[in-house]
Amino acid sequence: MRNNWMRACAAVAIFLTAAFTAPVANADTPDPAVQQVQTFYDALLDSMKHAKELGIKGRFDKLKPVIEATFDLPDMVHLAVGPSWATMSAADQQALLDAFERMTVANYASNFDGYSDEKFVVDPATQTRGQDRIVQSKLVTGGKTIPFGYRMRQVGGTWKILDIYLNGYVSQLATQRSDFGATVTAGGAKGLIKKIDTLTDKLMAQ
């Protein structure tokens, strides 16, 4: 796994501890929100273990269906773009969703490109925040423990990942919203699509 990705997670400093102050749900029975995070981690870990034989394209193809099943990608891109989303055409919205999904999958396929006895540990207890649930987890790698929180929301009766709290408290969506908003202001939807596609192409160029 790439060290620069881990450093990038650690460098962001947005304080969102309020997300983790809600009551803890009963953990006596398996929580479906927890199970979704575990499903994602299982697929990611398997991809890491077979990273070299799969290559970047193979890892992308392996992770794409599980990310589609466990991430709420339509709402994620909507929230990441912000208020400008409502002013965009349906064609631009679909193009942005497609680009965002490709970037999301490529990010995991590129950055988790090997296996060195890493472990993903998911807390069986969830925290409730309004209609959402927070699932806490950690990545144990090379003597380091990196926390990740997942904000989950029901979509069609299925719990899906809406936001990821890097290092346990840094909202990925908040970080993207700042970046995406500036790009849309400067170049509109097509400018943002181009930027996302360029980033994804770099991730896939291994």
133 strand-pairing partners: 128, 152
Query: Model confidence at 24, in pLDDT bands (50, 70, 90)?
Result: very low
Q: Work out the number of other CB atoms within 10 angstroms of the CB of residue 152.
A: 26
The reported pLDDT for the residue numbered 1 is 59
pLDDT at 81: 95
The answer to whether domain 3-198 has CATH 3.10.450.710 is yes
CB 135 within 8 A of CB 150: yes
* Mean pLDDT in residue range 151-155: 97
Confidence (pTM): 0.85
Where along the chain do its domains lie?
A: 3-198
CA-wise closest residue to 44 among 64, 63, 69, 70: 63
Bridge partners (DSSP) listed for residue 11: none
- Write out pLDDT tens, residues 80-137: 999 999 999 999 999 999 999 999 999 999 999 999 999 999 999 999 999 999 999 9
Residues 6+ apart with CB under 8 A from 146: 6, 9, 138, 139, 140, 167
Mean pLDDT of all residues in the chain? 88
